[in-house]
Every structure is written in C-alpha cells, then in structure tokens.
Amino acid sequence: MARAVGRPIKPGADLLLNDDAKPAYVRLHDIGRERRPRPLQEFLNDVGGLMLSAEAPAVASFVAGKVLQRLLKTGKMRPEGQPLPGAPQGLDDAIGHLAKSGRKYEAIAGQFQALADKLLWRRGRSGPFASLNFGNTHSHAVLVGPGGMEERADLRVGAIYMDRYTRFPDHVQTQPRAFLLLSPAEISLGDSQWFSAATGTVFANDAGQSFAIRCTARPLLAVWCQVEPETNG
C-alpha cells in the first residue's frame, strides 16, 4: 500500500499505537533529570548497536540514530512496585531461543528478561488477515515513550511478542519505524512479497506503508523504534 499523498494517516490505522488512554507526557524541563535503570540502559545500548551496524539498512539506521540521539537524555521512570499485568505466557520461551541464537544475543536476552515484568503489556487490536484468536496470542509493550517504563513524548521504543503460528494484521504506519528481529519471522512491507528474516535482521518501513509480520514454529519477539510527531500540548 503506497502512501496516499495529501491524506493524513489516522493514528487508529497503526495497530502498534493502541494506547488505552492519553499518556501523561513529561514536561520538557523534566527530561534528563532521572537516571535510567541499568538493564534498560544496557538493552538500549546493545539494541542500538545492532540497528546502527554496518549490516543494517541505511534507512533503518537513520531512524534509529535519531531515536538514540534523543535517548542521551532520560524521561521520567515509572515508580517501582506499581502493579502491572504479568508478561505474556510464552515470552520466556522466546527469550530462551534468543539467548541460544549467538553470543551477541545472550546479553540482550538477559536484559530483556530483567525488564519484561516491568513493562505494561497490551493486547493488540485485530484487523485484516490477522490469525484466529489474535487477541490472545499477541502482546506489545512500550519500553520508552508514552505509557512506557520510561515516560516521554518525543519517541517510542517498543516490543512485540506473538505466540507460534500467529499473524499480525496488516496495518499502516503513521511514522517511519525501524525494527530489530529478536527471533525468526516472515515480513511483508508495502507492496513487497513475504520474505523470511533471521534473528538479528534490521529493517525499516516508511510512514504510509502497510506492514505485516508473522511467525511459524517459534514465537516472535521484536523491538521497534520511532520518533514521535511534534505535539502542541
């Protein structure tokens, strides 16, 4: 699906942005005042290193680079001990597969394991071509950004989890977005055919393009990031 020139993309068309409520945006003068927890900082460092590697596509590195530049300053951390729904069933399995995917993924798996129960996991809305029972086989969370472990309005770093043999519905992205696969997956970007991608694959999809992703015998785990549009309030 190509971009519709002159037609704004409604946020509801982007199924990764199904915020339950308007986030409590952090005031500009609060940015940079708090220290980021070590597991989160190390996770962002290691994921950022993969997204900026020489093997990553230039477009994905461009998006990730803008996010990482803003991450030099911190947002407001969610208070420890705040009750949250548990991480999705099967996530441990996905993290276990990641830890066995190579030495460079062992640290990322451990970091994400330490963060998983501190994230607000949301069930995704279904849509075109989604697998049956999609609402029970998919969850996503924001690590940094609106509603995230680190609250801020200028960017998002999110995670996607799906059970085995789950297909995310086709949807249109509101912003350019970079992805890092932490498991094997099959992907369709815009008008492209489905293609298989291994753990560690980095790719980007532009605003206004459709996006679809699915997994087969292994659960899916992926990280994505984007710069948020400017807001007036």
User: Which is it for strands 150-151 and 155-162: parallel, antiparallel or unpaired?
Assistant: unpaired
Averaged pLDDT score across all residues of the chain: 87
pLDDT in tens, 73-130: 999 998 887 778 889 999 999 999 999 999 999 999 999 999 999 999 998 777 778 8
% residues pLDDT > 70 (the chain): 86
Q: What is the pLDDT of residues 202-227, one digit of tens each?
A: 999 999 898 999 999 999 999 999 99
**Residue % of the chain over a pLDDT of 90:** 66
- The phi, psi pair for 129, rounded to 5°, reads 70, 10
Which of 216, 232, 205, 209 has the alpha carbon at shortest distance from 64?
205
pLDDT at position 212: 92
pLDDT in the model for residue 157: 98
pLDDT digits (tens, 9 = 90+) for 10-38: 556 777 776 554 444 455 545 656 889 99
User: In sequence order, what are the residues at sequence separation of 6 or more whose Cβ sits closer than 8 angstroms to the Cβ of residue 127?
Assistant: 15, 169, 170, 171
What's the rounded mean pLDDT across residues 137-157? 94
- Dihedral angle at the C-alpha atoms of 148, 57, 182, 157, nearest 10 degrees? 0
pTM for this prediction: 0.88
pLDDT given for residue 106 in this prediction: 97
Burial of residue 98 (CB within 10 Å: 0-12, 13-18, 19+) is: buried
Q: CA-to-CA distance for 86 and 80, rounded, in angstroms? A: 15
| Separation of alpha carbons 141 and 213, rounded Å | 17
pLDDT at 174 exceeding the cut of 70: yes
Give SS3 for 86. Answer: coil
Give me the pLDDT at residue 30, please. 55
- Reading the block at residue 38, the tokens are 């070590």
